[in-house]
């Protein structure tokens, strides 16, 4: 423990604490900007580059950054001296002097760390005006837009992409005032090894990184005569959308969400959870097939498009181990444009599928050629949770007071197994519920596999199925995934099944979710909500979803069969590392 | 070159190499003794080069290292070439004439080592300097 | 081995080489051969003598004659006259600009008179590409002494007692740095030599590496022994090809002799050294940015603490010292810390090498004892201001330093006094300015450099310095306001207070120091819209004095934009609207009828 004084009050804090952490204990809020502490995700951006959190420390010549200065015994800190306040203010003014002041029309309006900081400090004038940096906007990809003009060089994206995700698309380039965050060889995003996980967007404090906004296109198609537009919502949306309307994180708003989508004008509101159950049937079948026929093991889940692109770039020699299952919303699209179109009596050409996803990579995924053959995409548009929030606000709905409504059928019913797809460990747990019962012929007494749950980056568990100890691994965050895959590559570990989600926490922490502003508790609350959604379901096993089984009976035939392969499975492509 | 295995080997190498640079170190030492050998045409014709060579060799033989042997131009004593001027710091120069190889050895032996002037060979003395 | 009776030392430093010293060596060798004296007389390519103003230098031993501005064609005369006949070539001897007196011995020259050469001790004395010559002047004796007679702590204590402080800029006590690294428990430690010399005008590190690379290698090995490191890295800029070449040769020779490698001199100590080439980013001279660069990352400073001695290269305890610092280590071990501490002032011990340049007669490298006054350096060693002009200021410490006026010429040179005066020791660049230098423009020049060289990581340096620069630009364009002066001070103060590394923290120094000492010049630019030194283009104009103009038309014919008109033999007129202020007319006018206003 270390003794120190902050603004005159003495306190004792654990060794290794930063001044920022120590100050928080005595209720002193030191403003920060570049700093981001998501240490549970192994993401601590401590570059100390913005210089907003400068404080005075006795006997130090200059000011020191509170975010990254470790306390020492007897340290005397002053956070509110005129010198510190002045420096903080000038630093923010300097940032503003090189930042477009188009807040009114910025995507991050009312949701921007820089804007809040300027407001908190009460800045009314930027004294030091001068040249502004201007760069080309990169909107080459389907997922995210880079607007370096709004970049304040906090380096969070670089840390997130490089250290947490180990993708390393971003790096500071050039020097001095010309410094900017760029890609290797200034490649457009679409040509980089970017997985479009969108975690950079999640942590960007300003409008420098945003999603590709599809709301205008969706609004347009909703109003096009002759089009039948179907919305499908991913499991992680219903536990996060409420945050867009000031609701407590972890509030389940499933019914209100359905209601809002209908009011926006969607002809049908169905559920990706239905397709998640379908995915489990296929994936569990594939797993059982591989297990019983000496197929390649482990099997890797393939629901996460960022993860798919990651292994295509980084592990092209392992392309035979991921499951060939399409991701749930793509399965939904494929089934909707065939089975459902017939059922509804709509020409598939006039059927438009809009996925509401917590994810930015889904936007890219929807445009993958093998998933959008001959101009007919499985999924036509993807909206993020944030985009849906904007559409709801734009429509003038009082979200909190909307009635609770039910999903439309026949693709609206789902099990609790599908619900947990939204959090890390959920997919493998769902698959296990089905595979276990299929393989053993016994009904599980308790469907909850506690050993698969949690927020540890890499988790392992062994489940006894018949005579076999089925070894399972779970990784979330691509850096963790890389570690796991490298272990397999080296032959250091053997597993039967592995679940990987690109985003820390799984889809609840997806790149399209409401901004968490560094508050990791929000993710935990969303995860808890996911599990309560599961518990609230009467059906908790995918293979007990009667609508899914009817789909096989009426249309698909046998699980993992020929028709299923044609519609529900996909293939992967080798890609370069850069 | 084999690797040096000990401090002693390094010290020995240093001593062996000393004469490579000794002249330069001595050259800027204010306390050095300067032997100037007349090396104008007359000096060379009279055998100045041999004289010079001998001086250098004798000094080395005696292990004397604070002496610079330099060539100098005509000192005006052409009748007595080769001439050698011996200049100790703080003392006036002594000029020897007809310094053949034998006398060169004597200069080192007597004057430099023992401090005994070769009175018979002195052809000039200067006032003390510095 | 030949016993040579005469050594012709030719400077092989970068400066003299660019003035054909390589050819001089070749010609001397040819002439000696012709004269049949190549077995008697040795030509040695040596390191920089420091007196670069008058290079190429040829120094002759044992005569101790110092020839200046030697050309390859002078080789024949040097051999025929000096070598063969013992007659000094008078026309190549240095002449004192003051009295015109010829001074044949370097020891009598005012430039060398007040110097004490410790770091530069072997530059000009030995052949840097020959380890035997280094060994002959007690090379590797200090390493041997440390390995055979001293404990690690004793070596560190010796450094501590000597009072040696880092010569790269900040002046941190070297012994304490070594102590901190010794204290760390780690399976791996590194010794890094910072040879990323980047201050404009400073070249002492280059000269040491080119002229005496073994002195650095030996000192690094000593540091390795003292702290328990087994690997050294010299981070040297790729723009120093000769230094790189000589380092490589020196490392190879040291390895061959077993002075680097496994179990050095029969001890248990092993040490190897490799080079890491920098791509010329100024910020990589900052120690933590340098570490990033060696590791292959972007050259950006890291937060301190942790200091490199605790967590340095690849996270391991690392000592980073600059070239000149290392060059002082061996003499301290051999001569004792008391000897070193007897030189200099109470808090700044030993000597410092300064690179003199600018409007000064003797441009070059001078190693002087700490505590000498600025005046002594400028007037005695530097030979005063060039072309008989008036001294205005001396800029010390590179882009991070400050400009000191005449009134501060008598302050002693040491870390504390320079900092107190608003400058800093820095790496030892010293640029003299005269009355034709505009101090606002000078401040702008330095800031332009740091704005360019900032790594761009932290806000105050990246944006703040740019804004400072823009304010200065306004002022030199005649668009400044008095409020700009306050802004400069306020903004400069915050940049100094809040920047991440020394580059940013010191970048406003040129502005703040000129603002303090030459405020009048700023005010002249702002209030009178006038540049007193006639430098700032937008504040000057050229005018023909009608009375003096003889109508020769030279100005009109030479004007690149044809803005001068007038009949032959009548007074000419400059069209101020079209004039680009290039100054051609001013310099071409044969009767000085064109003046700058």
Picking from C64, C106, C256, the nearest residue to B1 by CB comes out as C256
Please give the structure tokens belonging to residue C344.
């200099």
Does B56 fall in a domain?
yes
pLDDT at C583 > cutoff 80:
yes
Mean pLDDT of the region C167-196: 94
Structural domain for B112, as ranges: 31-125
Lowest mean per-residue pLDDT among A135-139, A192-196, B27-31, C148-152: B27-31
* β-pair type (A468-476, A458-465): antiparallel
Q: Give C44's strand partners.
A: C9
Write the pLDDT tens digit of every residue in C483-542: 999 999 999 999 999 999 989 999 999 999 999 999 999 999 999 999 999 889 888 888
Higher pLDDT, C400 or C236: C236
CB–CB contact B28 C139 (8 Å): no
Residue A193 sits in the same domain as residue A219:
no
* C-alpha R_g of chain C: 26
Does A117 fall in a domain?
no
pLDDT at A41 > cutoff 80:
no
pLDDT at B129 > cutoff 60:
no
Give the whole-angstrom CA distance, residue A197 versus residue A219.
25
* C-alpha R_g of chain B: 17
Exactly one of A56, A107, A158, A283 is catalytic; which is it? A283
Higher pLDDT, C476 or B64: C476
- CB neighbours of residue C568 within 10 Å: 10
CB–CB contact C459 A48 (8 Å): no
Does B83 fall in a domain?
yes
Torsion of CA C404, C410, C412, C418, to 10 degrees: -20
Residue A1, chain C, CB below 8 Å: the answer is no
Phi, psi of C540 (to 5 degrees): -120, 155
- Please answer whether residues B108 and B64 qualify as being in contact, where contact means their C-beta atoms are separated by less than 8 angstroms: yes
Which residues 6+ apart lie within 8 Å of A447 measured at CB? A416, A417, A433, A540, A541
Min distance B116 CA to chain C CA atoms (Å): 25
C459 neighbourhood in chain A, CB within 8 Å: 49-52, 91, 94-95, 152-153
Does B10 fall in a domain?
no
Q: How many residues does chain A have?
A: 578
Give the whole-angstrom CA distance, residue A10 versus residue A439.
63
Chains that touch B (3 or more CB pairs under 8 A): C
Give the whole-angstrom CA distance, residue C434 versus residue A575.
63
Instruction: List strand residue ranges (DSSP E) for A234-380, in order.
Output: 268-271, 299-300, 351-357
Residue C460, chain A, CB below 8 Å: the answer is yes
Phi, psi of A519 (to 5 degrees): -95, 100
Active site residue A283: yes
Mean pLDDT of the region C544-573: 91
Picking from C305, C487, C499, the nearest residue to A128 by CB comes out as C487
CB–CB contact C84 B44 (8 Å): yes
A127 neighbourhood in chain C, CB within 8 Å: 487
| Residue that is written with structure tokens 């006018």 in the block | C589
Average pLDDT, rounded, for chain A: 94
Give the residue from A177, A211, A245 where a domain finishes: A211
Phi, psi of A7 (to 5 degrees): 45, 40
Q: Would you give the distance in Å from CA C311 to the centre of its chain?
A: 30
Min distance A179 CA to chain C CA atoms (Å): 5
Min distance C535 CA to chain A CA atoms (Å): 24
Q: How many residues does chain B have?
A: 130
How much is the pLDDT for A436? 92
Query: What is C80-144 written as a DSSP string?
Result: IIIIIH----GGGBEE-TTT--EE-SGGGSHHHHT---STTTTTTTS-TT-HHHHHHTTTTHHHH
ipTM score = 0.92
pLDDT at C31 > cutoff 60:
yes
How much is the pLDDT for C104? 86
What CATH number does the domain containing B120 carry?
3.40.30.10
What CATH number does the domain containing A163 carry?
3.30.70.20
Please give the structure tokens belonging to residue C268.
């248990």
- Please answer whether residues C147 and C267 qualify as being in contact, where contact means their C-beta atoms are separated by less than 8 angstroms: yes
How much is the pLDDT for C2? 60
Exactly one of A56, A158, A282, A365 is catalytic; which is it? A365
Exactly one of A507, A525, A533, A542 is catalytic; which is it? A507
Structural domain for A207, as ranges: 133-211
**Closest CA in chain C for residue B42:** C85
Burial A81-113 (b: 16+ CB within 10 A, else e): eebbebbbbbbbbbbbbbbeeebeebbbeebbb
Which residues 6+ apart lie within 8 Å of A191 measured at CB? A140
Active site residue A507: yes
Please give the structure tokens belonging to residue A24.
């928080």
Cα-based distances in Å from C380 to C97, C372, C376, C413, C417: 11, 11, 5, 15, 20
Active site residue A362: yes
- Those of residues 558-587 in C touching chain A at CB distance below 8 A are none
Min distance C409 CA to chain A CA atoms (Å): 27
How much is the pLDDT for C185? 95
Does A488 fall in a domain?
yes
CB–CB contact C470 A130 (8 Å): yes
Average pLDDT, rounded, for chain C: 92
Residue C90, chain B, CB below 8 Å: the answer is no
Does B52 fall in a domain?
yes
Does A113 fall in a domain?
no
**C-alpha triplet C456, C459, C462: angle, nearest 5°:** 40
pLDDT at B69 > cutoff 90:
no
Residue B57, chain C, CB below 8 Å: the answer is yes
How much is the pLDDT for A133? 92
CB–CB contact C459 A94 (8 Å): yes
Determine the residue among C47, C62, C221 to mutate to test chain B binding: the one whose Cβ has the most chain B Cβ atoms within 10 Å. Answer: C62
Does A123 fall in a domain?
no
* C-alpha R_g of chain A: 25
Active site residue A303: yes
Residue A177 sits in the same domain as residue A259:
no
Residue A298 sits in the same domain as residue A434:
yes
Domain count, chain A: 3
pLDDT at A332 > cutoff 60:
yes
Residue A304 sits in the same domain as residue A361:
yes
Does A124 fall in a domain?
no
B38 neighbourhood in chain C, CB within 8 Å: 86
Mean pLDDT of the region C446-454: 93
Picking from C462, C464, C500, the nearest residue to A48 by CB comes out as C500
Write the pLDDT tens digit of every residue in A183-214: 999 999 999 999 999 999 999 999 999 999 99
Does A573 fall in a domain?
no
Residue B53, chain C, CB below 8 Å: the answer is yes
Residue A337 sits in the same domain as residue A242:
yes
Mean pLDDT of the region C270-292: 92
Does A120 fall in a domain?
no
How much is the pLDDT for A45? 86
How much is the pLDDT for C455? 93
Residue A273 sits in the same domain as residue A167:
no
pLDDT at B121 > cutoff 90:
no
A374 pLDDT tier (thresholds 50, 70, 90): low
How much is the pLDDT for C581? 86
Residue A331 sits in the same domain as residue A398:
yes
How much is the pLDDT for B128? 47
Burial A412-446 (b: 16+ CB within 10 A, else e): bbbbbbbbbbbbbbbbbbbbbbbbbbbbeeeeeee
Does A119 fall in a domain?
no
Please give the structure tokens belonging to residue A400.
């909190």
Picking from C300, C456, C498, the nearest residue to A91 by CB comes out as C498
Q: What share of chain A is helix, strand, coil (3-state, %, to 5)?
A: 45, 15, 40
Give the residue from A76, A97, A118 where a domain finishes: A97
Higher pLDDT, A359 or B67: A359
B13 neighbourhood in chain C, CB within 8 Å: 132, 135
Exactly one of A106, A157, A194, A303 is catalytic; which is it? A303
Residue B127, chain C, CB below 8 Å: the answer is no
Determine the residue among C39, C45, C77, C86 to mutate to test chain B binding: the one whose Cβ has the most chain B Cβ atoms within 10 Å. Answer: C86
Does B20 fall in a domain?
no
Mean pLDDT of the region A144-155: 96
Give the residue from A168, A193, A211 where a domain finishes: A211
Write the pLDDT tens digit of every residue in A87-106: 999 999 999 999 999 999 99
Mean pLDDT of the region A81-90: 95
B6 neighbourhood in chain C, CB within 8 Å: 265-266
Residue A159 sits in the same domain as residue A19:
no
CB–CB contact C84 B25 (8 Å): no
Domain count, chain B: 1
* Domains observed in chain C: 6-113 (3.40.30.10), 131-340 (3.40.50.11540), 351-434 (3.10.20.600), 439-526 (1.20.1440.230), 541-596 (3.30.70.20)
Residue A202 sits in the same domain as residue A234:
no
Lowest mean per-residue pLDDT among A397-401, B90-94, C118-122: B90-94
C69 pLDDT tier (thresholds 50, 70, 90): very high
Lowest mean per-residue pLDDT among A228-232, B40-44, C179-183, C346-350: B40-44
- Those of residues 125-184 in C touching chain B at CB distance below 8 A are 125-126, 132-133, 135-141, 144-145, 147-148
Q: Do chains B and A touch (3 or more CB pairs under 8 A)?
A: no
What is the end-to-end Cα distance of chain A in Å, rounded?
A: 46
Residue A20, chain C, CB below 8 Å: the answer is no
- Please answer whether residues A347 and A376 qualify as being in contact, where contact means their C-beta atoms are separated by less than 8 angstroms: no
How much is the pLDDT for C5? 82
- Please answer whether residues C426 and C401 qualify as being in contact, where contact means their C-beta atoms are separated by less than 8 angstroms: yes
How much is the pLDDT for C1? 46
CB–CB contact C497 A98 (8 Å): no
Does B93 fall in a domain?
yes
pLDDT at B130 > cutoff 60:
no
What CATH number does the domain containing A498 carry?
3.40.50.1780
To the nearest 10 degrees (0 to 180), the angle between helices A328-335 and A272-292 is 110
């Amino acid at each position: 423990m270390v003794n120190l004084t902050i603004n005159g009050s003495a306190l004792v804090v654990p060794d290794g604490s930063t001044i920022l952490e120590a100050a928080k204990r005595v209720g002193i809020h030191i403003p920060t900007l570049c700093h981001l502490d998501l240490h549970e995700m192994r993401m601590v951006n401590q570059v100390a580059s913005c210089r907003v959190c400068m404080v005075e420390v006795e006997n130090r010549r200059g000011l020191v950054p509170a975010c990254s200065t470790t306390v020492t015994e007897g340290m005397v800190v002053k956070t509110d001296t005129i010198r510190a306040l002045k420096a903080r203010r000038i630093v923010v003014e300097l940032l503003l002097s090189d930042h477009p002041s188009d807040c009114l029309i910025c995507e991050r309006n009312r949701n921007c760390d820089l804007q809040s900081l300027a407001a908190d400090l009460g800045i009314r004038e930027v004294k030091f005006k001068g040249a502004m940096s201007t760069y080309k906007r990169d909107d080459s990809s389907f997922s995210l837009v880079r607007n370096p003009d709004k970049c304040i060089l906090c380096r969070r994206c670089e840390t997130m992409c490089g250290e947490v995700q180990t993708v390393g698309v971003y790096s500071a380039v050039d020097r001095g005032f010309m410094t900017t965050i760029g890609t290797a060889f200034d490649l457009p995003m679409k040509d980089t090894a970017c997985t479009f996980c969108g975690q950079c967007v999640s942590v960007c404090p300003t409008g420098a990184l945003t999603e590709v906004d599809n709301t205008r296109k969706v609004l347009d198609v909703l109003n096009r005569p002759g089009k039948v537009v179907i919305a499908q919502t991913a499991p992680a949306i219903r536990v996060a959308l409420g945050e867009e309307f000031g609701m407590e994180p972890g509030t389940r708003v499933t019914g209100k969400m359905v209601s809002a989508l209908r009011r926006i004008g969607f002809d049908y509101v169905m559920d990706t959870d239905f397709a998640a159950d379908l995915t489990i049937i296929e994936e569990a079948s594939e797993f059982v097939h591989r297990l019983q026929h000496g197929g390649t093991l482990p099997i890797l889940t393939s629901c996460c498009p960022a993860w798919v692109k990651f292994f295509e770039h980084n592990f092209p020699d392992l392309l035979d181990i991921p499951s060939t299952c399409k991701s749930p919303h793509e399965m939904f699209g494929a089934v909707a444009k065939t089975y459902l179109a017939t059922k509804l009596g709509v020409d598939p050409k006039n059927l438009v599928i809009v996925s509401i996803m917590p994810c930015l990579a889904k936007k890219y995924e929807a445009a993958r050629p093998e998933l959008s053959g001959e101009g007919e995409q499985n999924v036509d548009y993807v909206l993020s949770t944030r985009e849906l929030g904007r559409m709801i606000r734009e429509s003038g709905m009082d979200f909190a007071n909307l009635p609770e409504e039910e999903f439309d059928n026949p693709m609206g019913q789902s099990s609790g197994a599908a619900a947990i797809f939204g959090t890390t460990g959920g997919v493998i747990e769902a698959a296990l519920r089905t595979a276990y019962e299929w393989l053993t012929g016994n009904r599980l007494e308790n469907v909850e596999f506690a050993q698969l749950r949690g927020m540890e980056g890499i988790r392992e568990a062994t489940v006894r199925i018949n005579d076999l100890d089925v070894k399972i691994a779970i990784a979330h965050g691509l850096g963790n995934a890389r570690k796991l895959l490298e272990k397999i590559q080296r032959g250091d570990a053997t597993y039967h099944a592995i679940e990987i989600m690109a985003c820390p926490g799984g889809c609840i922490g997806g790149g399209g979710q409401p901004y968490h502003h560094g508050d990791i508790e929000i993710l935990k609350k969303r995860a808890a909500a996911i599990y309560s959604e599961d518990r609230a379901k009467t059906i908790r096993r995918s293979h007990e979803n009667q609508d899914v089984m009817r789909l096989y009976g009426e249309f698909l035939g046998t699980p993992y069969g020929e028709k299923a392969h044609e519609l529900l499975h996909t293939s992967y492509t080798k890609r370069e590392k850069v | 070159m084999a690797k040096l295995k000990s401090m002693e080997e390094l010290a020995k190498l240093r001593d062996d190499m000393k004469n490579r640079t000794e002249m330069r170190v001595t050259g800027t030492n204010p306390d050095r003794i300067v032997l100037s050998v007349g090396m104008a045409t007359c000096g060379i014709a009279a055998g100045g080069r041999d004289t010079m060579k001998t001086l250098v060799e004798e000094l080395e033989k005696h292990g004397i290292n604070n002496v610079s042997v330099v060539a100098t131009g005509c000192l005006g004593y052409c009748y007595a070439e080769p001439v050698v001027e011996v200049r100790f710091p703080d003392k006036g120069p002594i000029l020897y004439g007809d310094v053949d190889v034998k006398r060169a050895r004597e200069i080192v032996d007597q004057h430099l080592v023992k401090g005994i002037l070769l009175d018979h060979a002195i052809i000039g003395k200067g006032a003390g300097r510095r | 081995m030949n016993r040579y009776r005469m050594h012709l030392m030719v400077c092989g430093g970068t400066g003299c080489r660019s003035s054909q010293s390589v050819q001089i060596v070749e010609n001397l060798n040819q002439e000696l051969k012709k004269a049949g004296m190549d077995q008697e007389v040795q030509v040695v390519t040596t390191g920089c003598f420091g007196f670069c103003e008058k290079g190429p230098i040829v120094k002759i031993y044992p005569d101790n004659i110092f020839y200046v501005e030697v050309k390859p064609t002078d080789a024949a005369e040097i051999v025929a006259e000096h070598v063969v006949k013992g007659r000094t070539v008078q026309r190549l001897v240095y002449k004192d600009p003051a009295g015109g007196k010829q001074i044949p011995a370097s020891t009598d020259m005012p430039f060398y008179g007040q110097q004490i050469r410790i770091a530069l001790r072997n530059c000009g004395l030995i052949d840097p590409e020959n380890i035997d010559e280094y060994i002959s002047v007690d090379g590797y004796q200090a390493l041997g002494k440390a390995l055979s007679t001293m404990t690690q702590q004793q070596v560190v204590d010796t450094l501590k007692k000597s009072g040696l402080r880092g010569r790269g800029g900040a002046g941190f006590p070297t012994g304490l740095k070594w102590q901190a690294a010794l204290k760390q428990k780690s399976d791996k430690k590194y010794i890094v030599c910072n040879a990323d010399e980047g201050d404009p005008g400073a070249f002492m590190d280059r000269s040491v590496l080119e002229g005496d690379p073994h002195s650095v290698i030996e000192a690094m090995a000593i540091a390795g022994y003292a702290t328990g490191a087994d690997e050294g890295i010299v981070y040297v800029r790729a723009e120093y090809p000769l230094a790189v070449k000589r380092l490589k040769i020196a490392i190879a020779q040291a390895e061959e002799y077993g002075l680097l490698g496994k179990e050095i001199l029969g001890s248990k100590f092993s040490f190897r050294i490799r080079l890491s080439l920098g791509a010329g980013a100024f910020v990589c001279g900052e120690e933590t940015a340098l570490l990033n660069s060696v590791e292959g990352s972007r050259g950006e400073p890291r937060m301190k603490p942790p200091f490199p001695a605790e967590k340095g290269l690849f996270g391991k305890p690392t000592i980073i010292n600059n070239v000149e610092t290392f060059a002082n280590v061996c003499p301290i071990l051999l001569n004792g810390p008391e000897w070193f501490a007897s030189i200099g002032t109470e808090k700044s011990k030993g000597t410092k090498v300064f690179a003199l340049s600018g409007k000064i007669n003797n441009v070059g490298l001078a190693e002087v004892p700490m505590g000498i006054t600025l005046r002594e350096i400028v007037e005695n060693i530097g030979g005063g201001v060039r072309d008989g002009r008036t001294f205005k200021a001396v800029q010390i410490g590179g882009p991070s330093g400050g400009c000191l006026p005449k009134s501060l010429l008598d302050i002693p040179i040491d870390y504390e006094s320079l900092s107190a005066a608003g400058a800093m020791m820095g790496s030892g660049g010293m640029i003299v300015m005269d009355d034709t230098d505009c101090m606002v423009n000078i401040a702008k020049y330095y800031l332009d450099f740091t704005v360019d060289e900032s790594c761009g990581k932290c806000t105050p340096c990246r944006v703040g310095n740019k804004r400072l620069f823009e304010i200065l630009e306004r002022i030199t364009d005649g668009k400044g306001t008095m409020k700009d002066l306050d802004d400069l001070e306020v903004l400069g103060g915050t940049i100094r207070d809040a920047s991440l590394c020394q580059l940013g923290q010191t970048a406003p120094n040129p502005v703040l120091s000129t603002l303090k000492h030459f405020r009048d010049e700023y005010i002249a630019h702002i209030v009178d819209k006038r540049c007193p030194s006639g430098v700032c283009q937008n504040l000057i104009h050229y005018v023909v004095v009608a009375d003096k103009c003889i109508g020769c038309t030279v100005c009109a014919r030479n004007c690149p934009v044809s803005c001068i008109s007038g009949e032959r033999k009548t007074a000419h007129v400059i069209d101020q609207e079209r004039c680009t202020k290039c100054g051609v007319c001013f310099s071409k006018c044969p009767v000085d009828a064109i003046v700058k206003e």
